Structure 1
Amino acid sequence: MSTFRYLNGIRSSPRASPRSDSGTVPFVGSNSTRRPLPGRQQLPREFIAQHQRARIVTALAEETAQQGYRAVTVADIVKRAGIARNTFYENFSSKEECFLATQEFAMSAALERVVAAAGSLDEWPFRVRAGLGAFLDYVVEEPALSRTCMVEALSAGPAAVRYYEESQQAFVSLFRLGRDVSPHGADLPETLEEAIIGGVFWILYQRLTASRPEAIPELLPELVEFALTPYLGAEAAGEVATAEIPGGIETASAG
């Protein structure tokens, strides 16, 4: 599968009207001799290709969130993206390939936020809380992409389901660190981390299918307590869930 990490952060920017040296917009229909305007250069092909892919991926996510993956057609995607049909096929061979690219783009962006938030703290329990908060923030800010990855992926074919499962595994390493700080880490079930991540994903799945992304931030304390209790015990996990994060770090979810 191609990597689309470079799509993260690409945004279309408004183009300024070209102006002449006198500050007026040149008269395009004029027969007068024209010279190239300062600063007007052809955009690199790579930038154009990246921008097109970003528009296509975003369009697929929005159409999928609205109609469901199976109902979406390539015609729907190109119409929403505002591109020609052949432009779609220059970037993707099929709707399925485009969907898989959308999955990778969205989950890579979400994981980058989780890693950045968790990596900013030293104590493992607060790293978990910060990471979960960053993940919830992403889901709230990008509901279409999140629904595509966490809801529609389950009905988008074997490859999409496999990537969905692999995405959950990417969170496991953060939670496995809890075995080192837990007084009974050696006795914890081998599949504990998978169960925790699966539970978090399932709860988010329910909120997204109910079209209630605005209710997701309030889940943070409960999810933190749910995730930490097996390692720290209920009392300590509850304290971490409600305590002020060291360093005053806050997220939209926590606020």
Structure 2
Amino acid sequence: MKPKNSPDADDASNEHRARLLQAMAQVAAAQGLTATSIAAVVAEAGVSKRTFYEHFADKDACFLELYRAASASALRTLRESVQVGRPWQDQVEHALGAYLAHLAAGPQLIRMLFVEIHHLGPEGATVRREVMQHLANFMLETINTQGPVLTPTMAVAAVGGIHELVLQAIERGEAAELEQLTPSASAVVRLLAGAPLASGKKKNGPPKRAV
């Protein structure tokens, strides 16, 4: 029997945690968080309830960890999509397009995550603010490379506005078409940064798009 602190034991623990998060994503996306039971999650993951409780205090804790993990994955896509050397307006629009396309790739899961997080009380609010702050920090890092353009307060406001656009699209049943929000999301950032909206055709750039 492997000691609990051995590399093999750590690998097995990490694998179990990942399987539980994946199972939570699948079950909750299909049934909704309220109807999701720990029994259904462990059955989907192929582990025991004891294993579940070794990783998570309860169902909500597992969901919040899933929310963090899904948000971190989307943020990685956002960061990896930055095109260094281009004007910040173009960088932000391109990155937001990639971010929204990433969310749209899992419409059922994203709908569940974006809606259910509002129903988890103070803990849910804390994790949601944590994730929004990460996104706001990304905007500040991307936009303010040459000097202060966007303030921290306006960065948080921009993230809040974009999340509201996403929620409205989800409520309209358009979670799979979130990438279409890119021009509007980009306009929110430009306005809050005090930058002019794109107009006409730009050299070496895309044609004018409605916002």
TM-score of the alignment, normalized to the shorter chain, above 0.5? yes
In structure 1, the partner of 2:16 is 52
In 2, distance between residues paired with 1:134 and 1:180? 21
Give SS of 2:74's match: helix
Tell me whether 54-63 or 173-182 shows the greater mean CA deviation. 173-182
Amino acid of the residue matched to residue 126 of structure 2? R
Matched, 1:233 2:207: no
| Corresponding residue of 1:73 | 37
CA contact (8 A) 1:107 1:149 kept: no
Q: How far apart, in 1, do the equivalents of 2:134 and 2:18 lie?
A: 23
Whole-Å Cα distance in 2 between the matches of residues 189 and 87 of structure 1? 45
Aligned position for 1:216? 178
Which runs of 5 or more residues in structure 2 are unaligned?
Answer: 1-6
Contact 1:168 1:194 in 2 (8 A): yes
Do 1:74 and 1:95's aligned partners in 2 also have CA atoms closer than 8 Å? yes
Q: Match of 1:151, SS?
A: helix
| C-alpha contact 2:132 2:159 (8 A) present in aligned 1 | yes
Q: Is the 8 A contact 2:81 2:94 kept in 1?
A: yes
Residue 180 of structure 1: CA displacement? 7.1
Matched AA of 1:93: A
Q: Secondary structure at the match of 2:47?
A: coil
More helix per residue: 1 or 2? 2
C-alpha distance in 2 between matches for 1:193 and 1:135: 16
Instruction: Give the letter aligned to residue 105 of structure 1.
Output: A
Match of 1:153 in 2: 117
Deviations 1:90-134 (A, max 9, x none): 22221122112112211111111111112x422311221122122
Structure 1 position 130 matched with structure 2 position 121:
no
Q: In the alignment, what sits opposite 1:16?
A: none
Q: Provide the aligned C-alpha RMSD in A.
A: 3.0
Per-residue CA deviation, residues 168-218 of structure 1 (Å, 9 max, x unaligned), is 111223433546779x94xx7763222211111111122234442222122
Distance 1:212 1:62, change over 3 A: farther
Write out aligned runs for 1:91-106 (5 A): 91-106=55-70
Is this contact kept in 2: 1:207–1:213, CA < 8 A? yes
**For the residues of structure 2 that align with 1:163 and 1:209, how far apart are their CA atoms?**
22
Mapped to 1, the partners of 2:101 and 2:48 lie a distance apart of: 34
CA distance in 1, matches of 2:54, 2:196: 54
Deviations 1:214-250 (A, max 9, x none): 22122212222332234321245x768x9349xxxxx
| Structure of higher CA gyration radius | 1
**Cα 1:84–1:211, aligned 2, differ >3 Å: closer, same or farther?**
farther
AA aligned opposite 1:175? M
Instruction: Indicate how the Cα distance of structure 1 residues 163 and 93 shifts in structure 2: closer, same or farther if over 3 A, else same.
Output: same
**Structure 1 pair 196/166, CA: closer, same or farther in 2 (3 Å)?**
same
The one-letter amino acid of 1:233's match is P
Q: Identity rate of aligned residues, in percent?
A: 25
User: Is 1:206 the counterpart of 2:143 in the alignment?
Assistant: no
SS in 2 for 1:70: coil
Structure 1: which 5+ residue stretches go unaligned?
Answer: 1-42, 246-255
> How many residue pairs were aligned?
197
Distance 1:60 1:125, change over 3 A: same
